[in-house]
Structure 1
Amino acid sequence: MPTVTGLVERRGRAKVFVDGEFWAVLDAAVAFDLGLAEGVELSDEGLREARVAGERPLAMTRALNVLGYRARAEGELRTRLERAGYADATVGAVLERLRELGYLDDGEFARNAAHEKSRKYGPRRILVDLKKSGVDEEVAREAVEEEFSGDDEIEAASAAAQRRYNTGERSDALARRVYGFLARRGYSAGVCAEVARRYREGGDGE
Structure 2
Amino acid sequence: MPEITGAKERRNRVRISVDGEFWAELDAAVARERGLREGAAFSCEELEEARVAGERPLAMGRALNLLGYRARSEGEVRERLGRYGYASGTIEVVVARLFELGYLDDEEFARQKAREKAQRYGPRRVSADLLKSGVGREVAAVAVEEEFAGRSELEDARSAVARRYNGVGSEAEARRVYGFLARRGYSAGVCAEVAGEHRGRA
> Would you call these one fold, judging by a TM-score over 0.5?
yes
After superposition, what is the alpha-carbon deviation per residue over 1:92-125, rounded to whole angstroms, capped at 9, x for unaligned?
1111111111111111111111110111111111
Task: Tell me if structure 2 keeps the 8 A contact 1:121–1:187.
Answer: yes
3-state DSSP of counterpart to 2:22: strand
Distance 1:113 1:147 in 2: 10
1:40-59 matched pairs, under 5 angstroms: 40-59=40-59
Q: State the TM-score, normalizing by the size of structure 1.
A: 0.93
After superposition, what is the alpha-carbon deviation per residue over 1:8-53, rounded to whole angstroms, capped at 9, x for unaligned?
0011110112222221100111111222212222222111110000
1:174 corresponds in structure 2 to: 173
3-state DSSP of counterpart to 1:187: coil
Percent identity, aligned pairs only, is: 66
Task: Tell me if structure 2 keeps the 8 A contact 1:170–1:199.
Answer: yes
Distance 2:44 2:158 in 1: 62
The RMSD of aligned alpha carbons is: 1.3
Distance 2:3 2:192 in 1: 68
Question: Is the counterpart of residue 184 in structure 1 residue 188 in structure 2?
Answer: no
Matched AA of 2:113 = A
Question: C-alpha displacement at 1:66, in angstroms?
Answer: 1.4
Distance 1:3 1:171 in 2: 74
1:8-19 matched pairs, under 5 angstroms: 8-19=8-19
Question: C-alpha displacement at 1:2, in angstroms?
Answer: 2.0
Question: C-alpha displacement at 1:5, in angstroms?
Answer: 2.1
1:119 corresponds in structure 2 to: 119
Distance 1:119 1:175 in 2: 23
Question: Is the counterpart of residue 193 in structure 1 residue 192 in structure 2?
Answer: yes
1:1-206 matched pairs, under 5 angstroms: 1-165=1-165, 167-202=166-201
Question: C-alpha displacement at 1:76, in angstroms?
Answer: 1.5
Task: Tell me if structure 2 keeps the 8 A contact 1:119–1:160.
Answer: no
Distance 2:16 2:58 in 1: 14
How many residues were matched structurally? 201
Distance 2:174 2:119 in 1: 21
Distance 1:74 1:172 in 2: 45
Distance 1:71 1:164 in 2: 30
3-state DSSP of counterpart to 1:15: strand
Matched AA of 1:187 = Y
- Farther-moved stretch of structure 1 (89-98 vs 13-22): 13-22
- Farther-moved stretch of structure 1 (48-57 vs 18-27): 18-27
Distance 1:115 1:126 in 2: 9
Matched AA of 2:190 = V
3-state DSSP of counterpart to 2:36: coil
Question: C-alpha displacement at 1:168, in angstroms?
Answer: 4.9
